[in-house]
Copies of this chain bind each other. A is one copy, B any other.
Amino acid sequence: MKMITAIIKPFKLDDVREALTDLGITGMTLEEVKGFGRQKGHTELYRGAEYVIDFVPKFKLQVAVNNNLVDVVCEAIAKAANTTKIGDGKIFVSELEQVIRIRTGEQGEAAL
Residues on A facing B (Cβ under 8 Å): 2-3, 6-8, 17, 26-38, 54-55, 58, 60, 64, 74, 77-78, 81-103, 105, 111
Contact = CB atoms under 8 A, between A and B. Distances in A.
A37 to B, nearest CB: 4
B31 A30 contact: no
B35 A26 contact: no
Nearest to A85: B103
A110 to B, nearest CB: 12
25 contacts: A3-B94, A6-B102, A26-B37, A27-B37, A27-B90, A28-B37, A29-B35, A30-B33, A30-B55, A31-B32, A31-B60, A64-B90, A77-B102, A78-B102, A82-B103, A84-B103, A85-B103, A87-B103, A88-B101, A88-B102, A90-B100, A91-B99, A93-B97, A93-B98, A93-B99
